[in-house]
Amino acid sequence: MLEDKNTKNLEDLEKKGGSIQEENEPNVSEEVKEEETKLEDVQKQEKELEIDEVESLKNEIRVLKDENSRLRSEFINYRNALIRESEENTRRHRERMILRIIEIYDNLGRALRNAEGTRKGFISGVRLIHKSIEKLMFDEGLSPIIPEVGRPFDPFAHEVEETITSNDVPDMAIHEVVEHGYYLNGKVLKPARVVVAINNSSESE
């Protein structure tokens, strides 16, 4: 009788154990899934962090490239400004030198015109100097402004030395050339000095 009772109790325990095991199996499975989900989330976050870090580095590289490009542009502009300043200083120095030479050249020209009756040797020497200076000036890019009598007055290339009333030439035309002018590389360096005619309206009528 006791043996039957023990057997029954053992069977009851086995049933309960099986039931407990069946109840625990779903819980274990859910925990495993939760852990797997957590692991996937962690891995996803790590990937997102890696992507963010890569993007951050790309942005830093982009900023550095832009900064380098800006500095390079500033350097090029500064260098070009120095070059332009140097060229401008050279041009001004050259103009001052040419103006001094022009003065000598014009003085020699006047001396030659006034010395036709003197000794030929002196005139020949002065002419040689005059010719040498002329070549030097023209080699430096100088070219003469030679106005023509009767041609219209050009305010960009001529300077009015005097105005006279005359109908010998058209109104506001060149009546007399006082002194030649000069271009330097196509730019007016020294305007030609001229006498300009103003027509007398009563005479022209």
Query: In the structure encoding, which two tokens stand for residue 150, read together?
Result: 């009767």
* Averaged pLDDT, 54-64: 82
Q: What is the per-residue pLDDT for 197?
A: 95
Do residues 96 and 169 both lie within one domain? no
Do residues 173 and 136 both lie within one domain? no
The answer to whether residue 41 sits within a structural domain is no
CB 169 within 8 A of CB 175: yes
Judge whether residue 204 has pLDDT over 50. no
Do residues 136 and 147 both lie within one domain? no
| More reliable by pLDDT, 1 or 30 | 30
Q: What are the tens digits of pLDDT across the range 134-184?
A: 888 888 889 999 999 999 999 999 999 999 999 999 999 999 999 999 999
Do residues 117 and 55 both lie within one domain? yes
What sign does the dihedral 161-167-170-176 (CA atoms) show? negative
**Which helix (DSSP H) or strand (DSSP E) does residue 142 occupy?**
strand 142-145
Judge whether residue 3 has pLDDT over 80. no
Cα–Cα nearest to 172, from 148, 146, 151, 193: 151
Q: Of 123, 140, 157, which marks where a domain is finished?
A: 140
Do residues 184 and 150 both lie within one domain? yes
Do residues 90 and 112 both lie within one domain? yes
Token pair 């043996």 in the structure block, residue: 3
Judge whether residue 70 has pLDDT over 50. yes
Query: In the structure encoding, which two tokens stand for residue 154, read together?
Result: 């050009």
Do residues 55 and 126 both lie within one domain? yes
Q: Which residues pair with 143 in a beta bridge?
A: 183
Q: Is the pTM of this model over 0.75?
A: no
Judge whether residue 27 has pLDDT over 70. no
Q: What is the per-residue pLDDT for 202?
A: 46
- The number of domains in the chain is 2
Residues of 12-29 as b/e, b for ≥16 C-beta within 10 angstroms?
eeeeeeeeeeeeeeeeee
| More reliable by pLDDT, 102 or 13 | 102
Judge whether residue 54 has pLDDT over 70. yes
The answer to whether residue 24 sits within a structural domain is no
Do residues 155 and 188 both lie within one domain? yes
Do residues 52 and 100 both lie within one domain? yes
What does the alpha-carbon distance between residue 69 and residue 198 come to, in Å, rounded to a whole number? 63
Q: What are the tens digits of pLDDT across the range 102-112?
A: 888 887 777 77
The answer to whether residue 33 sits within a structural domain is no
Average pLDDT, the chain: 80
Q: Of 140, 171, 193, which marks where a domain is finished?
A: 140
Radius of gyration of the chain (CA): 52
Q: What is the per-residue pLDDT for 147?
A: 96
The answer to whether residue 97 sits within a structural domain is yes
DSSP 8-state assignment for residue 152:
B
- Which residues span the domain enclosing 85? 48-140
The answer to whether residue 158 sits within a structural domain is yes
Q: What confidence tier does 9 reach under pLDDT thresholds 50, 70, 90?
A: low
